[in-house]
A and B are shown apart, each in its own frame.
Chain A
Amino acid sequence: AQKVTQAQTEISVVEKEDVTLDCVYETRDTTYYLFWYKQPPSGELVFLIRRNSFDEQNEISGRYSWNFQKSTSSFNFTITASQVVDSAVYFCAPNYGGSQGNLIFGKGTKLSVKP
């Protein structure tokens, strides 16, 4: 079965701490895409990043960084120097459907950043 696992249900950190959100996916497809979305308390779903299965180059964007390891089927997300505004639910969402773009969302990790 093709699925995604976010083992961390809730994480609580103090502002300025670094935090890593884990994502492990499972697929037999050779071509797929991996996404991270953020859902702040206001409820909307905000796109953060997309990676394809051929691109294992990790990326840093400001305080965000991503670690894609195809060998371990993991696509982890790190926030450096967390801020209260980072408090949200973070979803890892692979797309196994090729051009149909159907995302399979993980259960999400609720991140609480306390001042």
Chain B
Amino acid sequence: EPEVTQTPSHQVTQMGQEVILRCVPISNHLYFYWYRQILGQKVEFLVSFYNNEISEKSEIFDDQFSVERPDGSNFTLKIRSTKLEDSAMYFCASRGTAFAGELFFGEGSRLTVL
């Protein structure tokens, strides 16, 4: 069964360092998302991406965040200068249909900022 894969599963970094989280969405999907979940809290939308551009972003997704689909298969989330409050589980998701099909989530990348 096709699935969304994310790497790394866990990354520990120092405050101020750049981090790149990688995702491989399901191959024929067209819509891509990043969500995050701070430990014990709800899942929060960060950004959606379609047709090689951001289609929507939340207030959380400020200038230190960026997304890219560099090669037609990977979908990356970059945090330029990490802060302690960026520590969270980051979920990538993809969706294939044009009209509100379910999102398929990866298993998440846990980011710990020290």
Contact = CB atoms under 8 A, between A and B. Distances in A.
Interface of A: 33, 35, 37, 43-47, 50, 52, 91, 93, 95, 97-108
A102 B93 CA distance: 10
A61 to B, nearest CB: 14
Contacts of B89: 43
Most buried by A among B48, B95, B100, B102: B100
Contacts of B45: 102-105
Contacts of A108: 42-43
Instruction: Specify the main secondary structure of chain A where it touches its partner.
Output: mixed
Given A45-B91, A98-B100, 20 more contacts: A33-B100, A43-B89, A46-B105, A47-B103, A47-B104, A47-B105, A50-B102, A99-B98, A99-B100, A100-B55, A100-B56, A101-B31, A101-B48, A101-B95, A101-B100, A103-B103, A105-B35, A105-B43, A106-B42, A107-B42
Interface string B48-73: 10100001100000000000000000
A4 to B, nearest CB: 10
Interface of B: 31, 33, 35, 41-45, 48, 50, 55-56, 89, 91, 93, 95, 98-108
13 contacts: A37-B105, A44-B108, A47-B103, A47-B104, A50-B100, A95-B100, A99-B98, A100-B31, A101-B31, A102-B56, A104-B45, A105-B35, A108-B42
A43 B109 CA distance: 10
B102 A47 contact: yes
Contacts of B48: 100-102
Contact of B44 (A33, A97, A105): A105
Contacts of B102: 35, 47, 50
Contacts of B42: 91, 105-108
A48 to B, nearest CB: 9
Contacts of B43: 45, 91, 93, 105, 108
Contacts of A106: 42
